[in-house]
Structure 1
Amino acid sequence: MPLKSILVAFSGDVASCSALQLALSLQMRHSAYVTGVVWHGPLPLESRHRAFLSKDVASMLTGREDEAAQRIGAEFTKRVAASGMPDKASFIDLHEVETFSLPQQARAYDLVVMTRHAAEVGREHAEVRPDVVALRSGRPVITVPDDFAGQVPEHIVLAWDGKRAAARALGDMLNLMPDIQKVTVVSVAKQPEPKAEAGDDVIAYLGRHGIEAQWLHRDAGRRRITHTLLDVCAEVGADMLSMGAYEHSKFTEDLLGGVTRDILTDARLPVMMSH
């Protein structure tokens, strides 16, 4: 399936501008349609003290949020116009559709591009974590670091454990990133060598798609798997990491820590997550 419809979460900050830059680069390469979206729920003050707020105060708080969303929409329009394809873009303020959420909106797009950060303290109502969007929407999500320059990824590291989520990541990567020139498949496990047939299968599969691929095995030892994966990305000069999100339950990962959550915190390159 070609990449034709991209949803980018845009709030006008440094991180979301980087996310928009990647979305626009993909738009130019594939003649895709880009939809910017800002989502903001009730302010924390409004949620906690709704019963004690006068109508005038509640209206003032809502008005400030609406004004901020309008400024964000104007910034989106300006950046899209500078990219050269303004006729293939639009902007949505989901606050105007109170029964709709960002994960729900994402289900009607090929790909979601957004910042990797959670909202700043005090503005948790204004952003949904990218791993949650991937989990609840069923669509692949690319998270982008603040200083991303906007180039389309060509060398991707694929985190591979042979499970369902990793296979989904492999399929999404091939469908949505046709510009891939090289894939480094990484297995992180205690065994000194991965099973040959498993590595051969994935490498052969990529080869049939005309992609140069290599297989690397790493033993994390006492280190976190996250650090091992990111070290490989730096070692091979990858442009992006592709991985399955939440092979275990989200509750378990939030409680005990896990690869998905750690990657969002530590990655310094774009990460595509599929669930």
Structure 2
Amino acid sequence: MSLRNILAAFNGTESAVSAMQYAAGMARGHGAHVTALLAYATHDALNSHAAWAPREATRIIADASAEFLDGIEAQFEAQFEALRPSLELGDRLQFRRVPGRVDTVLSDCAQVHDVLVVGQDQSAETDSHVSIHNDRIALMSGRPVLVIPKGCVERQSGHSVLAWDGGRAAARAMADALDMLTGQTRIDVLTVGNPSLARPIDEVLQHLTRHGIEASHAERAVEKSIAETILKYCRKHKPGTLVMGAYEHSKFREDFFGGVTARILVDAPIPILLSH
């Protein structure tokens, strides 16, 4: 697949600005279009429907909430327009504002794009009206999600790491990587723990080699946790991208037991190509 249609989430945070710059670089390399999407929730900043609220107070609260939402739109659109010239995409760059549940809006819009590019964990950076949860989007969208750390504005190398456990999500992530990460020259297939539980590594390496990729197997014992072992490998070898499947188990189970996906999404120092 050649990238032609990229969706980038924009909510004014530093992470979102990095994601926009990264998406623009991808688009310039592929001759692709980028849609910058501001998704924002419309819930009241205050509860105007409480039983105690007099009619006049309800009206005042509703007016204040409407003014607040108008301010969100104006603020972030102005910030995006200030950023636009540096992205150097001309008429291949579009800005949209869509109200609704933020993660749902982004997931639905991503379905008709090649990839969704988002900033890394932003929950502590911004108002809940525009807060994004990358893990939920990866589960709902059916499209690959590229998560960009703050300050990372372009891919640093053609070397990627594929976190491989033989599951369906990992296989989907590998296929997405082959479609999207053009220009990569090498993939390390990283297994953590017992690789015999995964599909024979020789078959994985052969598949990648037949796609013109130099592939090798890296095996690591678990250190503290699977997530920490993967992160340590990436910090040491400095790949341009970490490729991984999202939530091979249920999200509830991963949240409850401290899942691999959630930990890596917060702490990875490099872009993550996430598929489910």
TM-score (norm 2): 0.90
What secondary structure sits across from 1:151 in the alignment? coil
CA contact (8 A) 1:40 1:94 kept: yes
**In 2: Cα distance, 1:45 partner to 1:54 partner:** 12
Shift in CA distance, 262/143, structure 1 to aligned 2, threshold 3 Å:
same
Structure 1 equivalent of residue 201 of structure 2: 199
Runs of 5+ in structure 2 lacking a partner?
Answer: none
1:260 is the counterpart of 2:243 = no
Root-mean-square deviation (CA), in Å? 2.3
1:144 is the counterpart of 2:148 = yes
Structure 2 equivalent of residue 226 of structure 1: 227
1:50 is the counterpart of 2:49 = yes
Structure 2 equivalent of residue 245 of structure 1: 246
**In 2: Cα distance, 1:272 partner to 1:174 partner:** 11
**In 2: Cα distance, 1:121 partner to 1:13 partner:** 7
CA contact (8 A) 1:41 1:126 kept: yes
Shift in CA distance, 259/111, structure 1 to aligned 2, threshold 3 Å:
same
CA contact (8 A) 2:242 2:272 kept: yes
Question: How many residues are paired up?
Answer: 270
Runs of 5+ in structure 1 lacking a partner?
Answer: none
CA contact (8 A) 2:167 2:198 kept: no
Structure 1 residues 109-258: aligned runs within 5 Å: 109-120=113-124, 123-151=127-155, 154-189=158-193, 191=194, 194=196, 198-221=200-223, 223-258=224-259
**In 2: Cα distance, 1:126 partner to 1:17 partner:** 14
Deviation at 1:206, TM superposition (A): 1.0
Q: C-alpha deviations, 1:209-248, integer Å up to 9, x for none? A: 1111111111105x11111111111222201101000100
CA contact (8 A) 2:13 2:126 kept: no
TM-score (norm 1): 0.90
CA contact (8 A) 2:40 2:101 kept: no
What secondary structure sits across from 2:124 in the alignment? coil
What secondary structure sits across from 2:40 in the alignment? coil
Amino acid in the other structure paired with 1:268: P
Deviation at 1:49, TM superposition (A): 4.1
What secondary structure sits across from 2:255 in the alignment? helix
Structure 1 residues 92-107: aligned runs within 5 Å: 92-95=96-99, 101-107=105-111
Q: C-alpha deviations, 1:25-52, integer Å up to 9, x for none? A: 1011001110011111134634x44343
Deviation at 1:122, TM superposition (A): 7.5
Q: Which moved more, 1:142-151 or 1:17-26?
A: 142-151
1:89 is the counterpart of 2:93 = yes
Identity over the aligned pairs, expressed in percent? 34
Q: Which moved more, 1:260-269 or 1:68-77?
A: 68-77
CA contact (8 A) 2:166 2:199 kept: no
Shift in CA distance, 188/196, structure 1 to aligned 2, threshold 3 Å:
closer
Q: C-alpha deviations, 1:65-102, integer Å up to 9, x for none? A: 2222223123223323222212101111111899x722
CA contact (8 A) 1:103 1:137 kept: yes
